């Protein structure tokens, strides 16, 4: 049960240029069924934008999603975690920073992302494994 970030992460990373409008970012997220994009400047990661960032910026900060670019609402610097970080460190990092998307890095390169959904799947699988072991142990006692 020694799970690492590379065991949990989604390896597909999606990027968006910092000058992209908030509206276009939202449309892309909807079309691709994703909740976050890594924001780049000249193909270099400089931030992350999530659905929550978009909702806050438009509804509460009254930003114009057609005229303002994503770099105005992105979170920066990007909070990342090393690919060999354990499950406790992943969860602790996400809780302490109140984030739902955690990019995974190897050195300076982003190699994946862990979402709150990825953690729910991992928790479900761990609970199933514990349940199976418990049932096997119970059966061997009889």
Across 30-51, average pLDDT:
96
Across 101-110, average pLDDT:
96
Confidence of residue 142 (pLDDT cuts 50, 70, 90): low
Task: Tell me what pLDDT residue 71 has.
Answer: 97
Confidence of residue 17 (pLDDT cuts 50, 70, 90): very high
Task: Tell me what pLDDT residue 1 has.
Answer: 61
Does 5-115 carry CATH code 3.10.580.10?
yes
Decide: 57 and 63 in contact? Cβ < 8 Å: yes
Across 83-104, average pLDDT:
97
Task: Tell me what pLDDT residue 137 has.
Answer: 74
* Range in 28-37, 54-63, 96-105, 127-136 the model is least confident about: 127-136
Of the candidates 100, 141, 113, 130, the one whose C-alpha atom is nearest the C-alpha of residue 10 is 113
Q: Which long-range contacts (CB under 8 A, 24 or more apart) does 81-86 make?
A: 81/5, 81/105, 81/114, 82/5, 82/106, 83/4, 83/5, 83/6, 83/9, 83/111, 83/112, 84/4, 84/5, 84/6, 85/4, 85/5, 86/2, 86/3, 86/4
């Amino acid at each position: 049960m020694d799970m690492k970030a590379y065991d949990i992460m989604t390896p597909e990373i999606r990027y968006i240029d910092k000058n992209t409008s908030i509206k276009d970012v939202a449309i892309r997220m909807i079309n691709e069924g994703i909740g976050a994009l890594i924001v780049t400047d000249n193909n270099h990661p400089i931030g992350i934008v999530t659905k929550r960032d978009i909702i806050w910026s438009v509804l509460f900060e009254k930003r114009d999603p057609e005229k303002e670019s994503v770099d105005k609402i992105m979170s920066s610097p990007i909070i990342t975690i090393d690919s060999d970080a354990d499950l406790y460190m992943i969860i602790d990092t996400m809780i302490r920073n109140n984030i739902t998307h955690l990019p995974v890095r190897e050195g300076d390169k982003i190699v994946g992302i862990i979402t709150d959904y990825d953690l729910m799947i991992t928790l479900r699988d761990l609970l199933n494994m514990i349940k199976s072991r418990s049932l096997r142990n119970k059966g061997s006692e009889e």
